[in-house]
Amino acid sequence: MSAATREGGPGRLLLMPNALDLGTEVVPLSDVLAAGVIAAAARLGHWAVEDARSARAFLNRVNQLAPLAQPLQQTRIEELPRPPKGGHARDAGGREADAAWERLLAPSLAGHDLGLLSEAGLPGVADPGARLVALAHARGVPVVVLSGPSSITLAVAASGLNGQSFAFHGYLPAEAGARRARLRELEAQSRKLDQTQVFIETPYRNQAMLDGALEALAPTTRLAVSCGLTLPDGWSACRSAAQWKATRVTLPDRLPAVFSLLA
């Protein structure tokens, strides 16, 4: 029996952290993941992932540091069900969708440890894999979260804003008018609750988000931007909206960014 197979009960669902370099220059995996996490990934023969291709690339990187317990070709890699266009994983209802999520968990119910891998960062945080975690709890499958980078918490830590109370809102509307209204809504909520409001954007729209935020926010509202977290050229900065306007910063269009505001 391998270390990733259990007798007399279900296996575990391991929430496997990933590097934050998807689509960018690759950083050494050992720079962002602990040796124990890499070793745990090498032992697993069953995976539920956002994207099979990037998951195989991740396992190839793991293999360079800790040899895989079985050839990659023999590793079972299943993709998470896709949510409806414009929707979220929680919106993917119906018997067919429910059955698909149940199938993903089948290896754990058969006694095998199962890895859950996000496209980037920590599974279940800004990630559709949260539904599989909920299902594991419902079916009595032990859930084990492994330590690794999450761009959301890293950005809050680097912002200098209120880390005692913050809320993550995912993507804001892409249309300028709707985005402006949402930003002002978040600013009002931040002022009322003294709460940091966190959101993200697709890299090629980073500049549009920054420009839209500076147009919508009050001059004294503080805005933090964390760009390319954990990457060699990554950076974080926090300024008032008025100060951002004065500096005229241009954001890169290929590096992921996290935005945080506190009114």
Residue 8 — very low, low, confident or very high, per pLDDT cuts 50/70/90? low
Q: Are residues 212 and 168 in the same domain?
A: yes
pLDDT tens, residue by residue, 180-214: 999 999 999 999 999 999 999 999 999 999 999 99
Identify the domain boundary among 94, 123, 145: 145
Task: Check residue 2 and give its pLDDT.
Answer: 47
Domain ranges, residue 27: 13-145
Quick one: which of 120, 124, 129 has its CA closest to 92?
129
Identify the domain boundary among 85, 120, 145: 145
**Does the pLDDT value for residue 1 go beyond 70?**
no
Mean pLDDT score across all residues of the chain: 91
User: What is the share, in percent, of the chain residues with pLDDT greater than 70?
Assistant: 92
Q: Are residues 63 and 77 in the same domain?
A: yes
Q: Are residues 25 and 70 in the same domain?
A: yes
Please state whether 190 falls in left (phi above 0), alpha (psi between -120 and 50) or beta. alpha
Identify the domain boundary among 103, 130, 145: 145
- Distances in Å between the Cα of 161 and the Cα atoms of 3, 215, 262 are 43, 21, 7
pLDDT tens, residue by residue, 20-35: 988 788 899 999 999 9
Q: Are residues 123 and 242 in the same domain?
A: no
Residue 245 lies in a domain: yes
Average pLDDT, integer, range 78-82: 90
Measured distance CA(182)–CA(158) in Å, rounded: 24
pLDDT tens, residue by residue, 245-258: 999 899 999 999 99
CB atoms within 10 A of CB 226: 25
Q: Are residues 220 and 136 in the same domain?
A: no
Residue 3 lies in a domain: no
Element (H, E) at 192: helix 176-193
The domain tally of the chain equals 2
Q: Are residues 89 and 139 in the same domain?
A: yes
Tell me, what CATH number does 62's domain have? 3.40.1010.10
What token pair was written down for 25? 């220059």
Residue 8 lies in a domain: no
Q: Are residues 138 and 174 in the same domain?
A: no
Q: Are residues 159 and 127 in the same domain?
A: no
Task: Check residue 207 and give its pLDDT.
Answer: 97
